[in-house]
């Protein structure tokens, strides 16, 4: 697939309750690399293989959750065009000036009908991945913590996922990959969307409350690295929601767990390639347990209900 337009998830700003405790967790347990702090007290991180300055921003607040989730686009011309299409669709946009986030260019922010702020940006400082651009060595997982390869996707909870999906598809050229139907066989309970050849770059679940975060996910390079992550979580007494296990939906392997503030995170590996000529996969209500947790074939109530 030719990569143009929206390239990939770029960054997530996550609210935490205790910054010192959170910095220790994201550094020592997650194995992320701190790249800066700003005048607002926000702390910036990247994964070991990411070349852009940041993908995770922590902001101290009195409640956990997500402030915004952003996608990087190929060029500023693309960003302008996507903003034009959003406005034509009736979506109000806001321009955030360059530098408001460290080493990040101008951003376009808009609200989904599910109550989530989404951003688009084209420019972020390339700080490299420590291996260089000439005659690099291979990446070896030998540092502290879980050390994911990249921030991969987010799952958002809110009411009007139909309207949100329409914005992603019509304004930003995303594709529907998979969906889960409610008992009526017509209404979508959940949708998985991609802007790339990945199984998903964003997912949404229908929920009574808007603006909720289910999880931010980090990609792992192998099933063995997911198992290693589970060992590190246990050593550090991290609260694990479920896993290691496999999804039927996307077919990826996974662990769900919580940061010290109660934000759910995921280590995710695998998932199939998706291309625009493929038909979306539909899961019926009777098989949703197997779709979410392929091995157990049943849902964990806390997995469905605990959000920030």
Residues classed as catalytic: 153, 200, 215, 247, 256, 266
Q: Exposure of 186 by Cβ count < 10 A (0-12 exposed, 13-18 middle, 19+ buried)?
A: exposed
Q: Find all residues with CB under 8 Å of 297, minimum gap 6, and list them.
A: 289, 290
292 by DSSP, 3-state: which?
A: helix
- In the chain, what are the helix, strand and coil shares in percent, each to the nearest 5? 20, 35, 45
- Specify the pairing of strand 117-121 against strand 252-258: unpaired
Contact 202, 169 (CB under 8 A): no
Determine the Cα–Cα distance for residues 105 and 10; give it in Å rounded to an integer. 12
Determine the Cα–Cα distance for residues 270 and 113; give it in Å rounded to an integer. 30
End-to-end alpha-carbon separation of the chain, Å?
A: 35
Determine the Cα–Cα distance for residues 158 and 164; give it in Å rounded to an integer. 9
Determine the Cα–Cα distance for residues 178 and 240; give it in Å rounded to an integer. 26
Determine the Cα–Cα distance for residues 300 and 185; give it in Å rounded to an integer. 22
> Could you give the dihedral angle defined by the CA atoms of residues 54, 274, 246 and 145, in that order, rounded to the nearest 10 degrees?
-20
């Amino acid at each position: 697939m030719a990569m143009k337009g929206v390239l990939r998830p770029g960054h997530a700003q996550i609210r935490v309750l205790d910054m010192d405790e959170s910095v220790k967790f994201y550094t020592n347990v997650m194995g992320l690399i701190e790249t800066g702090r700003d005048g607002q007290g926000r702390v910036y991180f990247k994964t070991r293989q990411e070349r852009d300055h940041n993908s995770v921003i922590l902001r101290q607040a009195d409640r956990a959750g997500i402030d915004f989730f952003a996608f990087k686009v190929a060029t500023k011309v693309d960003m302008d065009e996507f903003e034009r299409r959003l406005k034509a669709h009736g979506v109000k946009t806001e321009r955030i000036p360059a530098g408001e986030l460290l080493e990040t260019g101008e951003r376009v922010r808009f609200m989904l009908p599910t109550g989530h702020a989404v951003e688009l940006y084209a420019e972020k400082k390339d700080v490299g991945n420590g291996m260089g651009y000439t005659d690099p060595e291979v990446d070896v997982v030998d540092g502290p913590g879980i050390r994911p390869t990249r921030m991969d996707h987010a799952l958002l909870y809110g009411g009007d996922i139909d309207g949100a999906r329409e914005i992603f598809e019509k304004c930003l050229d995303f594709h529907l990959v998979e969906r889960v139907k409610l008992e009526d066989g017509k209404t979508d309970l959940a949708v998985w969307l991609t802007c790339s050849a990945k199984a998903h770059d964003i997912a949404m679940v229908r929920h009574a409350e808007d603006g909720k975060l289910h999880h931010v996910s980090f990609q792992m390079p192998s099933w063995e690295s997911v198992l290693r992550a589970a060992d590190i979580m246990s050593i550090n007494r991290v609260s694990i929601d479920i896993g290691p296990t496999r999804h039927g939906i996307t077919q990826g392997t996974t662990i769900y767990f919580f940061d010290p503030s109660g934000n759910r995170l995921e280590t995710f590996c695998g998932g199939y390639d998706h291309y625009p000529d493929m038909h979306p996969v539909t899961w019926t209500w009777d098989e949703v347990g197997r779709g979410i947790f392929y091995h157990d074939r049943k849902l964990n109530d806390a997995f469905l209900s605990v959000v920030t």
